[in-house]
Structure 1
Amino acid sequence: MFSLWVAFVIGIVEGLTEFLPVSSTGHMILAGNMLGFTGDKAETFEVVIQLGAILAVAVIYWRRVLRLFGMRDEAARAKPRRINLLHIALAIVPALGLAFVFRDWIKMLFMPETVVIGLVAGGIFMIVGEKQQPKITATDMDELTYRQSLFIGIAQCLSLWPGFSRSGATIAGGMLAGASRAAAADFTFLIAIPVMCAATGYELLKSYGTMTPDDIGFLAVGFVVSFVVALLAVVTFIKLVGKLKLTYFSYYRFALAAVVLLYMYTVGFPG
């Protein structure tokens, strides 16, 4: 069993990076390799604790989630209802389908070398989304069309490569589809809830036979830490992502990729 402090550290990393387009998975893989935390159980852990951070979004968006199921308050009834479950389905089914089919192949990519590629490729895609954005037709998440939702869903498939970033791919994809940065960011955080619930549930089912009581405690620590840290950071980060240009995050990704490459070829990861 790995030390609980490893779960604590990686839980903090996840909570701080989940809501920024810098790839929380990539950061967890890099942190895990530096701590000697690798292997099948580490990969399962990295998927499961993301749900802890995503639940922080559910806390923020709980009214929006309820409205998707027809439960609307008086203020909501006064506004046109645009976003519905079909928008959500179009945005999540492509990535979930590919993840289901190629799960084992995707998990083979959970290594620093592929993360570096994802950081750079994702950064380039984000710059393209920022620079090539067409005329904005959706300034608010409720103005997104089914076509735009599907385009975001297709873009989300790129995030199956570790380091690419789910939020980076979907925000840039939304901008390329004609959504404002803020609308794309809001929708990105909303669809993260069903995506990570499905991914976590499936991962636990696939890994159930290899789990031990000690592993459950380890997962619980990471889950709780990522939830608490994310809950403290989510409001600030959601506003930050909605306002800052994606190019700023791309520069950070390029710098991180360079640092990781330098570390790999000088110090090297344990094992």
Structure 2
Amino acid sequence: MDLWGIIVAVILGIVEGLTEFAPVSSTGHMILVDDIWLHSKDLYSPEVANTFKVVIQLGSILAVVIVLRQRFLDLLPTKKNLTKNQEGRLGLTKVIVGLLPAIILGLLFEDYIDKYLFRKETVVLGLVAGAILMIVADKMGPKDPTVKSVDQISYKQAILVGLFQCIALWPGFSRSGSTMSGGVLLGMSHRAASDFTFIMAVPIMLGASSLSLLKNWEHFNLDTLPFLAAGFISAFIVALISVRFFLKLINKIKLTPFAIYRIVLAAVVYILFF
């Protein structure tokens, strides 16, 4: 592995860390940065390049777990936590309820999505449609939300947010963008919607990434390890910073600035590809 390979890994790790949990679509950014400019598949086989994208995603997941570690510890079914949950804290069952719709639809339509939706055209449509949903959420969401903390989310809101998460099965829509928008429309503050989005994202992403790693374990060797490690570390460090920054600002800036950025990104992708 030469120096350029390490540089490519670090750049893609930075892109992943910045975009995976922000409502801007990491898929769209990977297409723009990697497919147009860096071409990681030219450094290694497509299988190794795809494994790399899973590895850097795990770096982002680890960062979110660290940032929200107390939230995840509170979800463990200990006696102490069960008592807390009865007193109104977010419980594991609400997270599971929120996850079920996307898990079921994802399993049912995985082959169709991979075959027909992972295209540049559909990503552009997803970027624009997701941006519109985010602007609508900011405009139509309550000015004084009733749910200001993730602990106040009801079972009904959890499953409805889970249904909004299903929209993100369309590449480019963004899991964060769709679930945050759904949460805001359902009466949550932007911070509460963001917390719930990140909590739900970790088990889905961790499960999918782990399965992918098991299928591609043979690609971990002395030749590819520096490439994979550089991407993982850069994604983890950048995500650790960006997630903290995002959660501090989201109630102030809301979703519309991200929506405008998505529309600009869609225009750039369209101009470059079409």
Q: TM-score range by the shorter chain?
A: 0.7 to 0.9
Deviation per residue, 1:66-124 (Å, 9 max, x gap): 111145989x9599342111111112222223333333333343343322111101101
Letter matched to residue 90 of structure 2: I
Paired residues for 1:42-57 under 5 Å: 42-57=49-64
Whole-angstrom CA distance in 2 between matches of 1:40 and 1:195: 22
- Change in Cα spacing, 1:193 to 1:158, as seen in structure 2 (3 Å) is same
Would you say how many aligned residue pairs link Structure 1 and Structure 2?
Answer: 263
Letter matched to residue 6 of structure 1: V
Whole-angstrom CA distance in 1 between matches of 2:251 and 2:102: 23
Shift of 1:264: 2.0
- Change in Cα spacing, 1:93 to 1:71, as seen in structure 2 (3 Å) is same
TM-score where L is the length of structure 2 = 0.85
SS of 2:97's equivalent?
helix
Decide whether the 8 Å contact of 1:127 with 1:246 is kept in 2.
yes
Residue 28 of structure 2 is aligned with which of 26, 29, 54? 26
Residue 65 of structure 2 is aligned with which of 58, 66, 79? 58
Shift of 1:147: 0.8
Does residue 87 of structure 1 match 2:87?
Answer: no
Shift of 1:212: 4.9
Shift of 1:223: 1.6
Does residue 222 of structure 1 match 2:231?
Answer: yes
Show the counterpart of 2:18.
16
Decide whether the 8 Å contact of 1:24 with 1:165 is kept in 2.
yes
Higher alpha-carbon deviation: 252-261 or 129-138: 129-138
SS of 1:3's equivalent?
helix
Shift of 1:199: 1.5
Show the counterpart of 1:104.
111
Percent of pairs identical after alignment? 48
Show the counterpart of 1:167.
176
Letter matched to residue 103 of structure 1: E
Unaligned runs of 5+ in 2: none
Letter matched to residue 236 of structure 2: F
Show the counterpart of 2:260.
251
Decide whether the 8 Å contact of 1:26 with 1:115 is kept in 2.
yes
- Change in Cα spacing, 1:130 to 1:184, as seen in structure 2 (3 Å) is same
Whole-angstrom CA distance in 2 between matches of 1:231 and 1:256: 24
Show the counterpart of 1:269.
none
Paired residues for 1:142-181 under 5 Å: 142-181=151-190
Does residue 124 of structure 1 match 2:126?
Answer: no
Whole-angstrom CA distance in 1 between matches of 2:84 and 2:90: 13
- Change in Cα spacing, 1:251 to 1:87, as seen in structure 2 (3 Å) is same
Letter matched to residue 26 of structure 1: G
Decide whether the 8 Å contact of 1:7 with 1:219 is kept in 2.
yes
Whole-angstrom CA distance in 1 between matches of 2:79 and 2:253: 31
Unaligned runs of 5+ in 1: 266-271
Letter matched to residue 113 of structure 2: I
Residue 121 of structure 2 is aligned with which of 92, 113, 121? 113
Deviation per residue, 1:174-211 (Å, 9 max, x gap): 112221212101111222221211111122234446x3
Shift of 1:217: 4.4
Show the counterpart of 1:268.
none
Shift of 1:216: 4.8
